[in-house]
Amino acid sequence: MDDSRFPFLDGVAGVLVDGGGRILDCTAAAERVLALPATALRGRPVRELLAGPAEGGRDGEPGPGAGWLGRATVRTGDGQVVDVELRVLTLRAAAPGDRSAARFVVLGAPGETADRWQQDQAFSRELFLQDRFGLAVFDEELNLVRTNAHLLPYSGIPTDLRGTSLRDLLQPVDAEAVEAHLREVLRTGQPLVLAEELARTVVDPRSGRMLAISAFRLQDPEGRVIGVTALFSDITEQYLARRRLALLHEATAAAAHSLSVGESAQHLAAVLAQGFADAAVVELAAAVFTGGEPLPDADGRLLLRRTGVAGPPEAVPAAGDTVLVGAEGDTEPEDPVDAWSIRVPLVARGVLLGRIWVRRDRWKDAYEEDDRVLMREIASRAALALDNARRYTREHRAAIGLQRSLLPPAVSSVAAVTTASVYLPTDTAGGVGGDWFDVIPLSSARVALVVGDVTGHGLHASATMGRLRTAVRTLADLELEPEELLVHLDDLVAQLLVESALVADIDEEAQFAVGETAADLPQGTEPVTFGGTCLYAVYDPVARVCTVASAGHPPPAVARPDGSADFLPVVPGPPLGVGGLPFESARVELPPGSVLALYTDGLIERGEGDIDAGMAELLRRLAVVAGEEQPLREAGQQLVAGLPPTRLHDDVTLLLARTKAVPADDTAVWSVDPEPAAVGRIREAATATLVEWGLADLTFTTELVLSELVTNAIRYAGGPVTVRLIRADTLTCEVSDGSATQPRMRRARLTDEGGRGLYLVAQLTNRWGSRYTPAGKTIWTEQELPPG
């Protein structure tokens, strides 16, 4: 017997027997065990070798490889009696009515080999009898040698598997992918371990079960390939559990995708409609969109708006439709829930925010209880995410409301300029920033234009912005030069930084005392900080000069009536709060009709922070809109349209100012000799000018004001005195001298001979004040012009 034909018999006493029980051939091991040569064994009946009856029974189910297993005593050629473990394998079954064609292999092993073989056979038998996983052994051509697959309750495989190929075994499952992988294992010897990527292919339509496949190549001791073993593991439950878990994670991430309630609802509906449902709808109460808590009506019902909708248009209701539900999110009687649909309420902190509705087509599998449990868990998590978005919306709206309340009107007009502004809050989770602007009327028809950016976002940034805006207005009232004003503002911010650091230390100690840490702060909470940038510009419509100073802020842009546009040549100083460094101002003459653009960095930051490109684009657009001479409000909207092109990561503030000029005929200037007689001449000249301007009604008050101010200047300051009248939106009267002493109004006692002049001036005019000049000081008053 050629042992190479039966490599699995190496070292085992094997005898080939025909259907009549006669020996046809044997292995070398059989010759050694029986102590007889193969020539003496061929043709002899097997029963002649037995020294007693054999004991045993059927081994395995009918089919290839099935046979008999037991024990027998044989007599060897040298007269010895040996106990042998026997196993009979069927190689070829007998034909009906003819046993001669049958072929069997009788395997035997004596002694310790028999015991080991018996243990191996017992293990093999138990392996093929278990039904936890499918086990199949194939030869080189992927023909089935042995399997337990028919024992698996979900397989539906018949018991008679004789001559079954791999394709037959897996029918009606598409076996092409499996066969390709098994042939690859045969070719390379690389095991295929739990190939779950095949699970989508190997789904038995007879039971709907899903199988993962492992495969290992079989070799004999000489390394010859003799077949492949395949294990089929039922992973249906694990697969479904993983799918549900993945859907839970995806739905949670979708609900928390954005701090916009509407976007989150739409993302959630889209995820649910990708496989789990054919149609998905997320309905939310109207109050959720404004940050409020939904409250049912007197009948306990809540009005919901369909916010997130996903699925075929013919299968889902239109977005924006409303529906009334009970306080628990119950469905209306005319819209029942069946086995192919699920509705779950969205409840967070005991408050009903809305509900989720999913539905499958009726030709698909109905929802199981596990699916409904999953939807309840999804709704629980989504409700928390949507409630977080709702509360953010409330805080965001409050911050925007505070921000806008602290800013001046969007459109204004004074004697020096006409202004319009645009403010766009950021879309980031930190909340609105601290961008701000202001238009401050100054004396002598001048105006201060201010824009700044406070560090940080949220309510504290808005509060800080309000404090800085108030500080700038207070400093502006002192009539300081731009660079000097920024020095004082920088000192103020530096002091606030020191105070905030002390407060932070105290708060940290207090938190430590009660066991709190920074991790206990609400998400998105930022420490209170001070600092930022500021640009301060003063425009004088009489001199038509703009003086600008910057504390770390981008320079203003200007478009002139001739079509040219550039940035003012201001040298930016350090940001506010640095302290100890000087600021510089730039003076630029601007023709009437020029358009100034003051802005924050949110307008020019584009892409990866390419500020130069943003500034160039701003300048180009400013030149275009200024040349069209359209209202500044519309021009501002055009400038911010598409800038930046992506979602806002910082506040955008834009202040446009179109310059005006006070005509030369509306000003009058006189030099006054430092002598008392000059006071009367000035009164006469001023009266004549007012009559010429049509302001005769103001002559009495103006004469009184000039008498007091010029007399004081001659008496206390000496030197040259200058008087100027300006007719703009008010009548301004200025008296300038060379003294740096500021006048102060006081209440005179009954016995005092003087001290009542400034009091009278304050009572007779609308405003008065004093400002320093390079040559000394200027005292000014303002009077309202009479109607017409």
Q: pLDDT digits over 755-769, tens only?
A: 567 888 888 899 999
Res. 65 pLDDT band, cuts 50 70 90 = very low
Query: Is pLDDT at 522 greater than 50 in this prediction?
Result: no
Contact of 465 with 436, CB cutoff 8 Å:
yes
The pTM assigned to this predicted structure is: 0.63
Mean pLDDT of 713-738: 90
pLDDT score at 154 = 47
Q: Which of 201-210, 303-312, 334-343 has the highest mean pLDDT?
A: 303-312
Comparing 622 with 610, the larger pLDDT belongs to 622
Residue 368 DSSP one-character state = P
Contact of 710 with 735, CB cutoff 8 Å:
yes
State what percent of residues in the chain have pLDDT above 90. 25
Mean pLDDT of 682-702: 94
Token reading at 431: 């909340």
CA distance 646 to 264: 19
Mean pLDDT of 478-483: 92
Query: Is pLDDT at 150 greater than 70 in this prediction?
Result: no
Query: Is pLDDT at 107 greater than 60 in this prediction?
Result: yes
Query: Is pLDDT at 600 greater than 60 in this prediction?
Result: yes
Q: Which residues pair with 452 in a beta bridge?
A: 436, 534
Per mean pLDDT, which range of 323-332, 543-552, 597-606 is the poorest? Answer: 323-332
Res. 62 pLDDT band, cuts 50 70 90 = very low
- pLDDT, the chain, mean: 79
Comparing 569 with 224, the larger pLDDT belongs to 569
Angstrom CA distances, 105 to 102, 329, 770, stand at 10, 74, 124
Helix (H) or strand (E) holding 478: none
Res. 335 pLDDT band, cuts 50 70 90 = very low
Hunting for tokens 């390079």 — which residue is that? 774
Cβ contacts of 355 within 8 Å, gap of 6 or more: 282, 283, 304, 325, 329, 343, 344, 345, 346, 379
> 248-283 burial string, b = 16+ CB within 10 Å, else e?
eebbbebbbbbbbbbebbbbbbbbbbeebbbbbbbb
Token reading at 391: 């509360």
pLDDT score at 627 = 79
CA distance 52 to 31: 20
Query: Is pLDDT at 594 greater than 90 in this prediction?
Result: yes
pLDDT score at 607 = 57
**619-661 residue pLDDT tens:** 998 988 887 778 899 988 888 886 554 456 678 889 999 999 9
Hunting for tokens 């660079």 — which residue is that? 483
Query: Is pLDDT at 509 greater than 60 in this prediction?
Result: no
Contact of 436 with 511, CB cutoff 8 Å:
no
CA distance 742 to 740: 6
Query: Is pLDDT at 735 greater than 80 in this prediction?
Result: yes
Helices (H), 369-481: 369-405, 459-477
Mean pLDDT of 203-215: 65
Mean pLDDT of 334-339: 59
